[in-house]
């Protein structure tokens, strides 16, 4: 059962660094919309883009969560060396997500105005928010298939290829934003159109790449026949992840709603900080996907020790980065918010919110890593549970009362997510203790086989 620390860390680095660069570029081109709109338009357009992008972020993370089922199943298949299983998983993933993308697009367009009003969007920003979301909803199929393609590559342990697709989308988006917003003056609609068109370009390039590159497996027509077992496993893993991510984003949307009710300046401040905080969460998000993908491969090959060490190293990396980020934000919060707006009151309130919110990154980094491990174990329901508890018991109620009783500052509202994350960490530690007991039994069983047959199984 010996393991080489350097080998595990090397594999983590090879997967996590390209993935980190990918989501960094995604965050940057998401922030580019807000930044460029802020340079050419007023608070109404900034608020429209910030509220609209919050809605789109929720939808996107739910799509990514659902696609995580594909990543985990392919990872297990790779770990056990089953090429035919990989092909069937890919084909059935395409079937599910094609139908899903059509249905979700129709539903979102139908409820467009209702969504805008449910967000308590300030009156001055309603028109811009509607324009932004209408275009983004029409581009849902591109968002879906980009994330499906990325999930396939990451399940195979390849995070570098999706990085190139993101780079193409990032460059395209910035150029289109400058043209549509800066030159043509399309405001929030231009920001949305730039995002959708850049995603379309990325999907087209990725499909061409998959047709040209030899991925080591061949997907046949027969693989596209509906396989109830695979679909059930995909949904069993992906649906709880998608729902938990959706509930988390709903809690953030409710926080944004509470801020919107306080006025357009608070709404703009929270919207800007939500974009910035995404940068702080890049490392935790990277480690979640790294632990999920690599541990799935290790567990598929019955290398439990490797999977555990992957989790341990990820937590240490997350905690170190997030603690440094938290301390840094206590000194430069206003300066960073000021990059997106010149409105002094928005800058002050954004700084208050950022200082409280930054602490969430430290605790979230820990439960993100545990969630990745639970995904790899096909126990995504645990992650779903701890997030639901934290949302219901802390994030939403604390944010609400803070918005009511602390009218002069956004700092207490920023602390609400951190309290929720603390609850999640406690639940994760308890759940991992029980999982570890079951794994220890398996290790003892494999050790016995090793003694009898002289074959090392858990290396």
Which pLDDT belongs to residue 454? 53
> Does residue 119 sit in helix, strand or coil?
coil
pLDDT digits (tens, 9 = 90+) for 357-395: 888 888 988 999 999 899 888 888 898 899 889 989 988
Q: How confident is the model at residue 315 (pLDDT cuts 50, 70, 90)?
A: very high
Q: How confident is the model at residue 30 (pLDDT cuts 50, 70, 90)?
A: low
User: pLDDT over 90 for what percent of the chain?
Assistant: 11
Cβ proximity of 92 and 230 under 8 Å: yes
DSSP assignment string, 275-329? HHHHHHTHHHHHHHHHHHHHHHHHHHTT-HHHHHHHHHHHHHHHHHHHHHHHHHH
What does the block give as tokens for 371? 């969630």
What does the block give as tokens for 156? 């195979």
What does the block give as tokens for 204? 């087209």
pLDDT digits (tens, 9 = 90+) for 40-93: 776 667 777 777 877 887 788 788 878 877 777 787 777 666 777 777 877 888
Task: Label residue 10 exposed, middle or buried (CB < 10 Å: 0-12, 13-18, 19+).
Answer: exposed
Q: Give the whole-angstrom CA distance, residue 88 versus residue 94.
A: 10
Which pLDDT belongs to residue 1? 42
Q: In terms of Cα–Cα distance, which of 284, 258, 246, 243 is closest to 414?
A: 258
Q: In terms of Cα–Cα distance, which of 319, 307, 362 is closest to 12?
A: 307
Cβ proximity of 72 and 150 under 8 Å: no
Which pLDDT belongs to residue 446? 62
Per mean pLDDT, which range of 319-323, 412-416, 447-451 is the poorest? 447-451
Q: Give the whole-angstrom CA distance, residue 350 versus residue 265.
A: 9
Per mean pLDDT, which range of 3-17, 104-118, 189-203 is the poorest? 3-17
Cβ proximity of 6 and 231 under 8 Å: no
Cβ proximity of 352 and 337 under 8 Å: no
């Amino acid at each position: 059962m010996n393991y080489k620390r350097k080998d595990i860390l090397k594999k983590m680095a090879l997967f996590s660094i390209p993935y980190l660069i990918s989501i960094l570029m995604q965050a940057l081109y998401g922030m580019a919309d807000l930044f460029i709109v802020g340079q050419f338009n007023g608070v109404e357009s900034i608020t429209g883009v910030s509220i609209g992008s919050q809605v789109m972020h929720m939808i996107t993370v739910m799509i990514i969560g659902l696609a995580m089922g594909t990543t985990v199943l392919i990872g297990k298949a790779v770990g056990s060396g089953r090429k035919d299983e990989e092909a069937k998983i890919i084909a059935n993933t395409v079937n599910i997500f094609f139908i899903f993308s059509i249905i979700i697009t129709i539903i979102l367009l139908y409820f467009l105005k209702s969504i805008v009003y449910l967000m308590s969007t300030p009156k001055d920003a309603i028109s811009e928010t509607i324009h932004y979301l209408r275009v983004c909803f029409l581009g849902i199929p591109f968002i879906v298939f980009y994330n499906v393609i990325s999930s396939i590559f990451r399940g195979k342990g390849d995070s570098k290829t999706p990085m190139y697709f993101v780079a193409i989308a990032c460059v395209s988006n910035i150029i289109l934003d400058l043209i549509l917003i800066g030159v043509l003056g399309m405001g929030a609609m231009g920001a949305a159109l730039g995002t959708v068109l850049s995603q379309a370009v990325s999907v087209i390039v990725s499909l061409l790449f998959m047709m040209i590159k030899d991925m080591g497996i061949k997907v046949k027509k027969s693989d596209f026949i509906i396989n109830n077992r695979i679909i059930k496993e995909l949904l069993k893993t992906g649906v709880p992840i998608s729902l938990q991510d959706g509930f988390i984003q709903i809690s953030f949307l409710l926080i944004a709603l509470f801020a919107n009710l306080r006025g357009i300046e608070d709404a703009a401040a929270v919207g800007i900080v939500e974009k910035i905080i995404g940068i702080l969460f890049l490392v935790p998000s990277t480690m979640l996907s790294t632990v999920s993908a690599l541990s799935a491969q290790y567990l598929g090959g019955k290398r439990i020790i490797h999977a555990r060490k992957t989790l341990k190293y990820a937590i240490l990396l997350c905690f170190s980065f997030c603690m440094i980020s938290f301390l840094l934000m206590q000194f430069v919060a206003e300066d960073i918010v000021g990059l997106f707006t010149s409105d002094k009151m928005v800058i002050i309130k954004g700084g208050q919110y950022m200082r409280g919110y930054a602490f969430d990154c430290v605790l979230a980094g820990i439960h993100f890593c545990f969630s990745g491990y639970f995904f790899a174990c096909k126990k995504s329901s645990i992650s779903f549970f701890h997030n639901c508890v934290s949302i219901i018991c802390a994030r939403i109620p604390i944010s609400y009362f803070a918005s009511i009783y602390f009218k002069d500052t956004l700092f207490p509202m920023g602390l609400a997510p951190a309290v929720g994350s603390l609850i999640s960490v406690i639940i994760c530690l308890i759940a991992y203790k029980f999982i570890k007991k079951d794994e220890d039994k398996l290790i003892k069983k494999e050790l016995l086989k090793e003694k009898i047959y002289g074959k090392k199984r858990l290396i």
